[in-house]
Amino acid sequence: MAEKTIVEKAGATVGIGLAVASDVASTIKTAIGAAATAVGEVLKKAPAKTAAKKSPAKKAAKKAVSKKAAKKSVKKPAKKAGRPRR
């Protein structure tokens, strides 16, 4: 059998690399699709009433935080240490 040239060897390597990359891509696509399906099913099963009860509490917490932030006084920035100006 004749020896393969560098171009033939490179072509075979590239072909194998493309096949491996294709397999990895399809595996990742399958995993993401399965995860998306699982999350979708969980969200469909969750009752809507519990989500409605939690939202007013979150709004009240946000309002309380914003009132506290508004009451804080503004401090003057510290002077830089260094030589006095002439």
Residue 85 lies in a domain: no
Please indicate whether residue 4 or residue 65 has the higher confidence score (pLDDT).
4
Give the tens place of pLDDT for each residue, 20-63: 999 999 999 999 999 999 888 888 876 655 555 555 556 555 55
Residue 14 lies in a domain: yes
Residue 24 lies in a domain: yes
DSSP letter at 24 equals: H
Q: What is the pTM of this model?
A: 0.42
Give the tens place of pLDDT for each residue, 63-78: 555 555 555 555 666 6
> 57 is in which domain, residue-wise?
6-63
Residue 75 lies in a domain: no
Give the list of residues 6+ apart from residue 4 with CB closer than 8 angstroms, or none. 12
The pLDDT, as a whole number, for residue 57 is 57
The span from the CA of 21 to the CA of 18, in Å, is 5
- Domain count for the chain, please give it: 1
Residue 68 lies in a domain: no
Token pair for 2: 């004749």
Q: Which of 30, 27, 50 is nearest to 38 (CA)?
A: 30
Torsion of CA 16, 21, 26, 29, to 10 degrees: 180
Residue 16 lies in a domain: yes
Indicate if the pLDDT at residue 7 is higher than 90.
yes
